[in-house]
Amino acid sequence: NGTNAYAQAKRAQVILTEMWADRLRGTGVAVNSMHPGWVETAGVAFSLPTFNKVMKPLLRDVGQGADTIVWLAASPEASDLTGGFFFDRERVDTHLSDSTRESTSDREWLWDRLADVTESDLAIESV
């Protein structure tokens, strides 16, 4: 199921962002993830044609979708932010409740799986 695979990949991105931020703390490297909002793109039109048709007047343009990631990368006011998930330049919680939080062992499994897939030890020696 493509929707489930997408959701799992996005959850993994959020978890890995937090883990990389923890491992890189104090190095001067910031790691964040973000949600651009619903943006009018060919991917949305193709994958969700009914949604695209109904919601088209409310979809963001590409510039609006890119605003937060550009802000995170280039703004002095965002330079000390790390490990967060952002929407419209605001840090937002990634869990609706504590019951949706993954366990430490699940997080470590994901880290180890990524190391296996990338054939890397993912060690952070120096930056």
Active site residue 58: no
Q: Which of 1, 2, 6, 90 is catalytic?
A: 6
Compute the radius of gyration of the chain from its Cα atoms.
17
Looking only at Cα atoms, what is the longest distance across the chain? 50
Dihedral angle sign, alpha carbons of residues 79, 80, 85, 89:
negative
Residue 33 φ then ψ, to 5°: -130, 165
Active site members: 6
